[in-house]
Structures are given as C-alpha cells and as structure tokens.
Structure 1
C-alpha cells in the first residue's frame, strides 16, 4: 500500500479550516493531516479533533520542524506568507500558500529564490483558475473558438466590504481584491500585462477612504500580445457576489455568468425572476477550492510542476502595484519587472 502524503497546516482561520475539511472529506485516502498551527491554538482544539487532528500548536515552527511532514499549507495572515515560505523551503517542505505571497516585491523574490534553491514545489492559492466554467472558457480559447482575442472584460464585485480593521492591513483593493482578477486576466489571455491605467473612488463607505483605500475601481490593461482588458470592481454589490467574464475575438466571444443559488426562474405577469448569485467566494468557488488542492497533491505525488507557480504569485502583485501607482499619479503606468 502506498504511504500517504503527510501535511501540516499553518493558519486555521476561515480558509485554513476549509482546506483542512476538504482534505479530510475528499482526499483522506491520499493525504493525512499531521498537525495544525494557529496563533489561537486553544480556540481550535475541538474543531481540530473533529477532523481527526490531535496535534495543534501555537508556534508554526512545530509544524515546519516535524520531519514526518512532506508539505505545508500556509493559510495564515498575509504579513507572514513570504517568511513562512522561506522557512518551509529551508525545511524541505512542499508549499501551498494563499495569495498574496507578500506586498513587497523583494520579499517575494527572496521567497521564490529559497524555493528554487530547496527544490521544493510551490503553489499559490488563486482558486479561480480551477473553476469549471473558467477552465472551459480557457480550453475554448486554446481551441481557437474565438480566433484571435481582442478584448477581455472582468466584473468582480463583493456582496459587502470587509471590516475596516482588515482593510487597514489588506494592502488596498488592488492587492487584496483585484489581485484575483489580475491572475484571471493573465490566465485567460496567456500574456503578461504591459501597461495599467486605474481610476477609482470611495462610493460605498467613507470609512474605507478614511483609512486610505478605495472601494470602487475600473482598471484597464494592455497586454504584450495586444489584447485590451478592463476590470471593474466594487466592494458592495447588493444582489450578491458578482463574478462575470467575457472574452471577445476575431471569430466570436465567450462569456461566463454568475452561479445562482438555484436555477429556478419564475415567469409571471409581474415579470421574470431568478435567484441571486451565490453569496460569496466560499460558496461560489467551492468546487475550485477542492480542485486546487487536488492539483497540489497530484503535483507532489506525480512530481509535476504546480499549475499556479511562484511567478504566477509574483506577477499579479506587480500589476497591483502598477495600478496603485496609476491611481496616485493619474496616468497610465508600465508594469515594472
């Protein structure tokens, strides 16, 4: 019988718990969770026991220094990501890390250098690439269904803003929210972003502006392959989590609409009504979160390159920083590499 892949999890907030539960529910034959570390370790003991994990620590080093562990999932706060990647690589662990790696480009590059030096695998948690609808769209683009791509349009609007205390440390809308859209833009076009122009405002909550961020934005992108892109973001969509993409090309277009709570449509003399979109990212991307962990496991077991590499973690941050600079300077900005 083939031995199981042994993993540790660092950070057991909403995302960390979801990954742990998905591993337990869907991958228990291939993977065993050995231990979990969280700064609030005493508060997660019952939950950890419920998924069969008895070793729970406050210090992440207890996970990293365990020679039994093959791979770690880094789901802690963003300010710890790059350092934990470095430490995990130095301990010879394969690494799955939630986005972003860091807000600081030099820290990202240092982390990627340590990963390369250690010869371990690194996958970044851009789960939207694993959504079946967006995957189908990508496949059809590669098959030439729309011919030469000309325009990419991404709409991404949250159902409500995060807490102000979170926004203060989030890195701002472009590095927290739009970063997923930047990743999808690269994924679907197959090209790097060359130039960015961003306009934004505070239209949802004045408190967001008071802490130096914006809540409504439009970003235009110029890609190296000539494609033009536009992303629109809002921190508050009253009808739910709005996730739509359209690609237009020389032979036609492709579009992906929202996933609704149900597909029931009522038609009557008062109009035609359907359900709202699924509430937020946990619900909307439930299948994608499972598939990204499946891909990470497969990359380790079968010694493949991970489908979302460290460079895929770096590039959206570079684009996000260019967008911030564009907004501040009110001009188009080249992405600095």
Structure 2
C-alpha cells in the first residue's frame, strides 16, 4: 500500500511511525507545511516528504489526516472526492453543521472514513464494552468517566481547541455512546477555572463535571481537569446488577491512595503513552478497512453525535441548565 500522512504534529508523527512499522505499507508519504521538519521525519522513517498540495494529488491507497483541527474537513473532502480511504483524527469538522454535511458527502461517495477515537481500541475499554454487551455486567446501573490531562495546554493552543468539551471530553462522549450502546438524551455540565487563568482569558475552563442521561435512563458522570500533577489519567467505572468493574485503574495509574499505595513508575505522562496499544491497534484496523478487509469501527456519524453532545455541554455550562440533545441540530 501507498499511504500518506497529512500533518506532522505529535499525532501525525506517531501515525507515521506506526505505518512505517506495518508490513502492508510499501511506500509512505508524509506531508506538512514546515519543510525542514517534514524532511527530518521522512528521513527517519524512510518515507517521502511532499508539500501538502503535491501530496493531495499524489497516487495513494489510503491517507491519515492529522492536520490542524479546523482543516480536517477540507482534507477529508478532497481525499474522499478522489476515492481515497481516510483515517481522520477527531473532529471531522469544528461544527455540527459542517460535520453533518461531510458525513452525508462521505456516505454518498461510499468511501470509508474512519474517525480517530482510539479508546475504542484500548483493551480495557473493549473488555468493558464486551461485559455490557454480553450481559455479564447485568443491568448497567451507572457509568463514571474521568479524564485528566497531565499538563495544561499551552496558551497558543487554547483559542483553536474548541474548548474543553469539544477538545478533551469529546472522547468521553464517544465512549459513553459506545460503552452503553445507547444515545445520550440530556446533559448537564458545569465548569470553572480552578487554577490556570490562561483558560479564562479564552472563555474556557480547566475543570468540569458533567452528567449525561441515556435513552434508557443510565446516568453517566464525567469529570475532567486540564492538569493532574501525577500524570495523564483516563479511567472508567461501570456498576451493574451482576458485576462492577473499572478500566484504567492499575498500579501505574496517576492516583495516590491515602490508605496506602503510591503510583508505580511508569505512570502515563500523556495520551500517546496511555493509549500506545490503542493507537497501534487503531492504525492496523484502518489499514484493514482501507483494503476492504474489515468493517469501519468508527464512522463519521459517530463523530457527529459526539460533537452534538459536546455542543450541548457547552450550552449547558453557559446557560446553567440541563440541555436536551434534541436542542442541538441532528
């Protein structure tokens, strides 16, 4: 396969590294705007560097879009129009309206576009989903999700991030739908700046608490923070009538128990090491999807629905009320 990676930030470079290790990838193209960095990455991975414009026109069997958030839609549309299967990092687009338009375009083109919600490929989260789907957990009473960055975002990133609900919690919103197998009907979200004033300067928050309610009434509690001094944290707790289980709670979790037990090294310092296994599995899955060997594990419609929940949470925070998902365009 000839595969191209667009964008060489942290995520783009990691995707390129994973592709370079895969036997199915015979030729790798990397494309970005900073030529010096692009050529350096290409040389390290035995890949070809091309300017973005040339890369978009180059022959390829598949592509990964890991460019700046606001540009995802443009790249996806150009590639899909050419018939190129795409793995797009979240989000598909910055608004629900544009995401819906692109999802419809993709459906009409019959070209696979897999969305980059890597937690669906994490072994722990997959085991939890299997426990719910198989009935091993019994009736799912409630779900708790925790999302804590190790270090707060640099200030120059905040204005273009879309805010904490769209940038960080959108992964949790995808998990909520995927783990329960249900749609979210209502949200109540609150947030504040507890420490990092850089977020206040851009009308964002550094700490959140959210309650989602699903179709059957499952309450889902989500908490988030832009800083955790012990490391990057992504965890879940599921409580059912037959069993209760956790995801992400290990001796390496960045959480100290007052009843004894310090986190053991190594603790995750970022999402790339916390989800190293998941990113690898997700990239392999995409190559199978691109070759027509597997169904798409995360479609554009999933990205649309996660973004709708994020927008409902932002409205809830601002208006200080519960927001029904039907208030957000479908």
| Fold match by TM threshold 0.5 | yes
Q: Which residue in 1 is equivalent to 2:14? A: 18
The verdict on how the C-alpha distance between 1:294 and 1:163 changes in structure 2, with shifts beyond 3 A counting, is: same
Q: Match of 1:151?
A: 142
* More off after superposition, 139-148 vs 287-296: 139-148
Whole-angstrom CA distance in 2 between matches of 1:106 and 1:132: 33
Structure 1 CA distance, aligned partners of 2:61 and 2:227? 40
Structure 1's 166 and 186: CA in aligned 2 closer, same or farther, altered over 3 A? Answer: same
Cα RMSD (Å): 1.8
Matched, 1:333 2:320: no
Structure-2 change in CA distance of 1:73 and 1:271 (3 Å) = closer
Judged with a 3 Å threshold, the aligned counterparts in structure 2 of structure 1 residues 170 and 260 are, in CA distance, closer, same or farther, namely farther
Q: CA deviation at 1:114?
A: 2.1
Distance 1:74 1:260 in 2: 35
Q: Secondary structure at the match of 1:31?
A: coil
Equivalent-residue separation in structure 1 for 2:175 and 2:302 (angstroms): 10
How far off is 1:160 after superposition?
1.2
Which string of whole-angstrom CA distances, capped at 9 and with x for unpartnered residues, describes residues 96-132 of structure 1? 0000111211211221122122211010100011111
Q: Are 1:153 and 1:247, in contact at CA under 8 Å, matched by a contact in 2?
A: yes
Distance 1:203-1:308 versus aligned 2 partners, 3 A rule: same
1:122-201 alignment, distance < 5 Å: 122-201=113-192
The DSSP-based 3-state class of the residue aligned with 2:26 is strand
The match for 1:37 is 31
2:42 equivalent to 1:48: yes
**Pair 1:273–1:106, CA change in 2 (3 A):** closer
For residues 200-223 of structure 1, the C-alpha deviation after alignment (integer angstroms, 9 at most, x for no partner) is 100021121111100100010000
Structure 1 position 271, deviation (Å) = 5.5
Does the aligned pair in 2 maintain the 1:96–1:296 contact within 8 Å? Answer: yes
- 1:204 equivalent in alignment to 2:190: no
Q: SS at 1:165's partner residue?
A: coil
Show the counterpart of 1:57.
50
Shift of 1:298: 1.2
**How much has 1:46 moved relative to structure 2?**
2.2
Q: Which runs of 5+ in 2 are unaligned?
A: none
